[in-house]
């Protein structure tokens, strides 16, 4: 992409409610535009990052055998009446009527709908276990939407659902997802800590929030500092190893606000290991057994030919929230710093175009075409601006690698720079290798 063609409405004007850095930087870099309270349009740069996050999430879900489908955003109220949640869910649910007067709603989550899909087709224990997920917009009429994409009314979420014959098998599904979440967040450049959490309107009695540390986070957390040292590389997908991982995590104190009790904290964690800080919830997993399958009559025949209600869990990741969360975790001063896995571009070429330097532009186009052929996602800054203006802009956008075509470059070697490190002079092949690694 040539920067002169990119729809990138960079702005200096920030609304007064843009209080945290991620919100400010996303608006400044033209990644999002608010359309009404807690509802945003995703502009090309913002959407590109979100799509990359979505893809990492999808790949990690597929790796544990979860299968992707797509449920609608609008649901019928009937299923929610069947589960008993229609009244309980309260004012966060956006309720609408169609032209026939039928009660509909914009889905805040999908436990009912997925249970209905499952019950209408799976009748035997032989088809178990199953894990299904989708990545879809949700709507929750939050009383105080704030912090940009962090607490929205409309947001993009990955929600997965597991179906098992009994509690023992369901725990295996829960552990797989638990492990998969740690890997997903690691690929996104984040260290997410699983914290024992409240289940709220989703229900059940086993639940973990995955929280990344950030001063601007809305979640208060209390933990034993040793939990930050667990290395997930030491575990693999064998059942026993996953069980051990869960046990290792569970043996260390780590809870959110709602579960915090000072006397337990002091009893279980020596003072020198106590961490009390704030974080951002980027994922949340739940085990609720037959809370939905029972009222919705979701049964399978078991080995003895008897009806067995399905044991279910649900597993959410805030895909749109992650865009802001990654910025909060990584930014320095006014600079967004994208991990390579989700950067909007792999590399940006910045030619010095002072005095209309056609030679530098021609060289840059050649580099651009070469990298494109190698499947490298490259941005070429062909805008006629001073180098200092260009660098300011690229600091803001945060692409991790730059190729600077100016006085330090020759016909075959170019200045290559990883943000925050010294530059080196490299050939195109060497640059390709660096980027491909
Ligand atoms: N059905 C369950 C699991 S699929 C569920 O809905 N869980 S949740 O309510 O905890 O949401 C899952 C994730 O969505 C959260 O961890 C958070 O990262 C994200 N999320 C929740 N509410 C919002 C919101 N208002 N704005 C942005 N992201 C949100």
pLDDT of residue 371: 97
**pLDDT tens figures, 53-74:** 999 999 999 999 999 999 999 9
CA of 321 to the centre of ligand 1 (A): 9
CATH number for the region 347-436 comes to 3.40.50.800
* Residues with a CB atom less than 6 Å from ligand 1: 109, 140, 142, 151-152, 155, 157, 159, 202, 281-284, 286, 314-316, 318, 321
Dihedral sign for Cα 107, 109, 110, 112, please.
negative
Residue nearest to atom 24 of ligand 1 (CA): 151
* Domain segments of the chain as ranges: 3-330, 347-436
Q: Among all chains, which residue has been given the structure tokens 């450049």?
A: 189
Mutate to test the pocket of ligand 1, among 83, 146, 321 (most ligand atoms within 8 A of CB): 321
Q: What is the pLDDT of residue 354?
A: 80
CA 27 and chain centroid, separation: 19
Measured in Å, residue 140 CA sits from the centre of ligand 1 at 9
> Residue 333: what pLDDT?
82
Tokens of 301: 């025949």
Mean pLDDT of the chain: 94
* Dihedrals phi, psi of 244, to nearest 5 degrees: -65, -40
Distances (CA, A) of 199 to 131, 153, 227: 20, 20, 22
**Do 87 and 260 meet the contact criterion of CB atoms below 8 Å apart?**
no
- Tokens 């955003």 belong to 73
Give 240's contacts (C-beta < 8 A, 6+ positions apart): none
The three-point CA angle 328-56-115 to 5° equals: 105
CATH match of 3-330 with 3.30.930.10: yes
**The overall pTM is greater than 0.75:** yes
Residue spans of the chain under pLDDT 70: 356
Q: pLDDT value at position 357? A: 80
Note the residue count of the chain.
Answer: 437
- Alpha-carbon distances of 415 from 118, 394, 433, rounded to whole Å: 56, 16, 15
Please choose, from the candidates 432, 427, 434, 426, the residue with its C-alpha nearest in 3D space to the C-alpha of residue 374: 432
DSSP letter for each residue of 216-244: T-SEEEEEEGGGGG--GGG--SSHHHHHH
pLDDT at 375: 95
Give me the pLDDT at residue 239, please. 78
pLDDT of 421 reads 87
Tell me which residue has tokens 């651009």: 368
pLDDT of residue 355: 72
Give me the pLDDT at residue 155, please.
98
């Amino acid at each position: 992409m040539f920067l002169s063609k990119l729809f990138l409405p960079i702005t200096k004007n920030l609304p007064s409610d843009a209080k945290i850095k991620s919100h400010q930087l996303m608006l400044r870099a033209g990644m999002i535009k608010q359309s009404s309270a807690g509802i945003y349009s995703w502009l090309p740069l913002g959407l590109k990052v979100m799509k990359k996050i979505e893809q990492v999430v999808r790949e990690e879900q597929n790796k544990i055998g979860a299968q992707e489908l797509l449920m609608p955003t609008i649901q019928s109220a009937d299923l929610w009446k069947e589960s008993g949640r229609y009244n309980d869910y309260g004012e966060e649910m956006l309720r609408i009527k169609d032209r026939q007067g039928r009660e509909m709603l914009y889905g805040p989550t999908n436990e009912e709908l997925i249970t209905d899909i499952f019950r209408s087709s799976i009748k035997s224990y032989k088809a178990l276990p199953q894990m299904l997920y989708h990545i879809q917009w949700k709507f929750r009429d939050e009383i105080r939407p704030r912090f940009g994409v962090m607490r929205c009314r409309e947001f993009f979420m990955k929600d997965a659902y597991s179906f098992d014959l009994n509690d023992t098998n369901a725990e295996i599904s829960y552990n797989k997802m638990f492990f998969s979440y740690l890997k997903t967040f690691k690929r996104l450049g984040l260290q997410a800590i699983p914290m024992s959490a409240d289940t709220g309107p989703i229900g059940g009695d086993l639940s973990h929030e995955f929280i990344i540390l950030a001063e601007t986070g809305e979640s208060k957390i209390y933990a034993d500092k040793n939990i930050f040292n667990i290395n997930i590389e030491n575990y693999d997908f064998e059942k026993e190893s996953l069980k051990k991982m869960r046990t290792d995590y569970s043996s260390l104190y780590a809870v959110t606000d709602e579960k915090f009790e000072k006397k337990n904290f002091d009893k279980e964690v020596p003072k020198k290991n106590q961490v009390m800080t704030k974080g951002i919830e980027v994922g949340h997993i739940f085990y609720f057994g037959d809370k939905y399958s029972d009222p919705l009559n979701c049964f399978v025949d078991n080995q003895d030919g008897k009806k067995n209600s399905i044991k279910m869990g649900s597993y959410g990741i805030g895909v749109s929230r992650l865009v802001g969360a990654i910025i909060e975790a990584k930014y320095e001063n006014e600079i967004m710093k994208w991990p390579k896995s989700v950067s909007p571009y792999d590399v940006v070429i910045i030619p010095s175009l002072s005095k209309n330097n056609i030679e530098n532009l021609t060289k840059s186009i050649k580099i651009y075409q070469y990298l494109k052929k190698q499947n490298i996602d490259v941005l070429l800054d062909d805008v006629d601006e001073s180098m200092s203006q260009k660098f300011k802009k690229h600091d803001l956008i945060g692409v991790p690698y730059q190729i600077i075509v100016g006085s330090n470059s020759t016909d075959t070697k170019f200045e290559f720079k990883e943000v925050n490190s010294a530059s080196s002079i490299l050939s195109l092949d060497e640059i390709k290798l660096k980027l491909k690694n």
